[in-house]
Amino acid sequence: MNRQDLIRGIEKNGCILIRHGARHDWYQNPKTGACQPVPRHREIKEPLANHILKELK
């Protein structure tokens, strides 16, 4: 999955960017308090992208 598509999906769920890390950006769902790192690769493998989306819902 393209990183930009993943970020659009994350933000569509109401998540916000909390901070930029060295190799990852951290997003948080303010409703649940769940946080997940998102790698800065252009392409992110589907299982990892699905895991990130699942954890942030």
Domain count within the chain = 1
pLDDT band (50, 70, 90) for residue 45: very high
Which residue range is the domain that position 20 belongs to? 3-56
Q: Tens digits of per-residue pLDDT, 20-40? A: 989 999 999 999 999 999 999
Q: What tokens were used for 48?
A: 């990892």
pTM of the model: 0.89
Given a contact cutoff of 8 angstroms between Cβ atoms, the answer to whether 38 and 48 are in contact is no
The CATH number covering residue 45 comes to: 3.30.920.30
